[in-house]
Amino acid sequence: MKLTISVAQMRVKQTDMVANLAQGERFIAEAARRGSHIVALPEMWTTGFNFKENKKLAKEQSETLSTIATFAKHYKIWVTGSVLTGDEEGNPCNTAVLFDSNGNLISRYNKVHLFSMLGENENVTSGNELVLVDSPWGKIGLTVCYDIRFPELFRSLAIQGALIIFSPMAFPYPRLEHWKILVRARAIENQLFMVGANQIGNEDFNGTEVTYFGHSTIIDPWGKTVIEAGDEQEVLLTAEIDLNLANEIRQKMRVLSDRRPDVYKLD
């Protein structure tokens, strides 16, 4: 099944939802013009990371989600990316969302692994469930940024049939080489497509100045780069992929069926 994907590499303006939504709409509109079925945006693309303002901003996110739904419906395109939301108690969550081309919120995934190195775990409520979505093109897995360092999550999605996993990112220097290796490893070891949409630019992340390095990418199930951005420019990548490649590779090299979970100790 062929699928055309656009990946938006974006400079996010912290707490400025109006500007970020306007830029997001420009990317979404251009992706639709190019004939893409899905457009992927980065992590926390509507607000950035401002933990002092998160609780206040989270209360406004129902309106933001409605706006994104309107974009998806108007431009007739599926939209995914990570945004700030609030749980039932109003606590901030870092949530990957997936809207279909009719503007329906198909699924939402609250980031399971929170980035303790910069205090995300102290300011955001973690999720406790993995998310796999049945789409017209095959099963789609949703993850967010730091999740990329936890292979068990990706293997779980692959075992359940994921053919493609979207990872919205806010990945900064000096970990560019980590990113390049990790995204490729997750694709190769699980024999699926990886889509990473990263931010660019600078941000005060909980008191630490970070610089995001871009390099948004799509990696195929053999580990080949389908398309990749540079490190400084806002850009919309677009590529056609064939999800049948994942099944073809799995049939030839039976990594998933050759597993030995009876001897693994993961606790």
Catalytic residues: 43, 111, 145
**Beta-bridge partners for 105:** 99
Which helix (H) or strand (E) segment holds residue 242: the answer is strand 235-242
Tokens of 110: 């609250």
List Cβ<8 Å contacts ≥24 apart for 106-114. Answer: 106/133, 106/135, 107/131, 107/133, 107/142, 109/142, 109/143, 109/144, 110/85, 111/82, 111/144, 111/145, 111/146, 111/147, 112/147, 112/150, 112/153, 113/146, 113/147, 113/149, 113/150, 113/153, 114/146
